[in-house]
């Protein structure tokens, strides 16, 4: 839960935490849960909003007291957006985080042009987008090869500027620690390997989570050469493994390239949306069935009242007299007196018209692959518009 609240750990945090939830320098220095509060971030809606709409299967939890979904009906491929790392018996996975706008554009490209290649998708997805704001110095050609094979590594480098003759490091590689880097630089200085550096200090604060000041000995010091030395000798430059080993729709783990991973997610999303539409259609048909029973009751209101008042088993008599189903008869018997007004008949007819239009729309969507694809594409565009942002990591 702490990880899901840390902006420097998750590209798109799921939890909005109040209190001490750790820092870049020490991610594990978070307060005990009795001192903190939390709520879901708007992004979490992408994973949870369709849970109650018949989209996924449910199963018993670990002790059989509750039910939980087997998977979450993600509206966007969260496995790519936030990435994941893990290790199991004989296998591991390292999926880096990506940018919502880029991944959404790639999904739409695949929906429009299913024969698109990995190179085509890389026109949209430029590379991983780690939190922290450092930069990727891996050449684009190598990044494309990683996406083709599903394996490789990307190199992240800290970003810096010159300010009043000093070097100011303002962004560290993903999961880089300010204190550890300062310790590494100090070690280089004590070993007499950095004669061009006079002093270093940490000016990081709440407004500037990363602000490391390196003071050169004079204005003649080549700052680029100094930083290149530090990139080689400290964690100001780090490699991150990429291994797109994930469990597919068939339930088996496999290393997938970018296209196969997105194609499987689109298949999953298509199934999810189809189940959601079928669930809604079933609700609409059920309501229309009850409304048909209500109309019969209102058209024969005097006879219905007589049956309810005088018969010992009014449900059976209603079913036999007006050819009603058991569901319709129960609904009529559950009606309150205030609904037996002339005005309610018009409301029922209006509701019937609205639901009938919705029924026709749902049936059209479910009977046409093209319409279903258009709906999925529109929903992706809407979600990207709400949650999308600019790329955080430039690619050098």
Looking at the domain assignment, is residue 284 inside a domain? yes
Report the C-alpha gap between 5 and 142 in whole angstroms.
32
* Pair (287, 372) in one structural domain: yes
Q: Is 294 a catalytic residue?
A: no
Report the C-alpha gap between 383 and 396 in whole angstroms.
29
Q: Three-class SS of residue 281?
A: helix
- Assign residue 366 the CATH number of its domain: 1.10.268.10
* Pair (293, 379) in one structural domain: yes
Looking at the domain assignment, is residue 7 inside a domain? no
Structural domain for 182, as ranges: 160-221
- CB under 8 Å to 370, separation ≥6 — which residues? none
Looking at the domain assignment, is residue 190 inside a domain? yes
pLDDT digits (tens, 9 = 90+) for 120-153: 999 999 999 999 889 999 999 999 999 999 999 9
Residue 78 near residue 46, CB atoms below 8 Å = yes
| Average pLDDT of span 310-327 | 92
User: Which position among 10, 12, 35, 124 bears the catalytic label?
Assistant: 35
182, 203, 221 — which closes off a domain? 221
pLDDT digits (tens, 9 = 90+) for 185-231: 999 888 888 888 888 999 888 888 899 999 998 888 889 999 999 99
By CB neighbour count within 10 A (0-12 exposed, 13-18 middle, 19+ buried), where does 191 fall? Answer: exposed
* Pair (286, 368) in one structural domain: yes
196, 221, 246 — which closes off a domain? 221
pLDDT for residue 242? 95
Looking at the domain assignment, is residue 132 inside a domain? no
Helical ranges in the chain per DSSP H: 2-5, 45-48, 78-81, 100-112, 118-121, 140-149, 178-190, 223-233, 258-299, 301-310, 314-322, 326-333, 342-367, 369-387
Looking at the domain assignment, is residue 345 inside a domain? yes
Looking at the domain assignment, is residue 322 inside a domain? yes
pLDDT for residue 383? 96
172, 190, 221 — which closes off a domain? 221
- Assign residue 197 the CATH number of its domain: 3.30.1360.40
pLDDT for residue 342? 58
Looking at the domain assignment, is residue 59 inside a domain? no
Tally the domains of the chain.
Answer: 2
Query: How high is the mean pLDDT of the chain?
Result: 92
* Pair (192, 286) in one structural domain: no
Residue 182 near residue 212, CB atoms below 8 Å = yes
pLDDT for residue 340? 66
- CB under 8 Å to 209, separation ≥6 — which residues? 8, 23, 24
* Pair (286, 210) in one structural domain: no
Gyration radius of the chain over CA positions: 30
Read off φ and ψ for residue 111, nearest 5 degrees. -65, -40
Looking at the domain assignment, is residue 370 inside a domain? yes
- CB under 8 Å to 110, separation ≥6 — which residues? 116, 121, 259, 262, 263, 266
Q: Three-class SS of residue 292?
A: helix
pLDDT digits (tens, 9 = 90+) for 64-110: 999 999 999 999 999 999 999 999 888 899 999 999 999 999 999 99
25 pLDDT above the threshold of 90: no
Q: What tokens does 287 get?
A: 């309501």
The pTM score is 0.89
């Amino acid at each position: 839960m702490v990880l899901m609240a840390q902006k420097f750990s998750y590209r798109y945090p799921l939890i909005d935490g109040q209190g001490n939830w750790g820092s870049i320098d020490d991610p594990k220095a978070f307060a005990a849960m009795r001192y903190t509060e939390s709520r879901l971030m708007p992004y979490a809606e992408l994973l949870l909003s369709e849970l109650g709409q018949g989209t996924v299967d449910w199963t018993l939890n670990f002790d059989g007291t509750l039910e939980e979904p087997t998977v979450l009906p993600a509206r966007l491929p969260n496995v790519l957006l936030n990435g994941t790392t893990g290790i199991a018996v004989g296998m591991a996975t390292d999926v880096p985080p990506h940018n919502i706008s880029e991944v959404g554009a790639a999904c739409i490209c695949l929906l429009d042009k299913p024969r698109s290649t990995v190179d085509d998708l890389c026109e949209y997805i430029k590379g991983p987008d780690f939190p922290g704001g450092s930069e990727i110095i891996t050449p684009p050609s190598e990044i494309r090869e990683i996406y083709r094979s599903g394996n490789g590594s990307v190199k992240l480098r800290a970003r810096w500027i010159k300010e009043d003759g000093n070097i100011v490091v303002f962004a560290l590689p993903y999961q880089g620690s300010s204190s550890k880097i300062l310790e590494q630089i100090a070690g280089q200085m004590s070993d007499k390997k950095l004669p061009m550096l006079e002093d270093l200090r940490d000016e990081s604060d709440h407004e500037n989570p990363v602000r490391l000041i390196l003071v050169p000995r004079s204005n003649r010091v080549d700052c680029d050469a100094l930083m290149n030395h530090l990139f080689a000798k400290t964690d100001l430059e780090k490699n991150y493994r990429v291994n797109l080993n994930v469990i597919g729709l068939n339930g088996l783990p496999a290393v997938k390239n970018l296209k196969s991973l997105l194609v499987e997610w689109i298949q999953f999303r298509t199934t999810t949306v189809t189940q959601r539409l079928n669930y809604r259609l079933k609700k609409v048909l059920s309501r229309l069935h009850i409304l048909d029973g209500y109309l019969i009751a209102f058209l024969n209101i005097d006879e219905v009242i007589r049956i309810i008042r005088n018969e010992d088993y009014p449900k059976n008599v209603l079913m036999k007299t007006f050819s009603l189903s058991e569901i319709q008869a129960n609904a009529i018997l559950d009606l309150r007196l205030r609904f037996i007004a002339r005005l309610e008949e018009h409301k029922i007819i209006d509701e019937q018209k609205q639901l009938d239009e919705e029924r026709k729309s749902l049936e059209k969507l479910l009977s046409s692959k093209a319409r279903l694809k258009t709906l999925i594409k529109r929903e992706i565009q809407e979600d990207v518009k709400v949650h999308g942002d600019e790329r955080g990591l430039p690619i050098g």
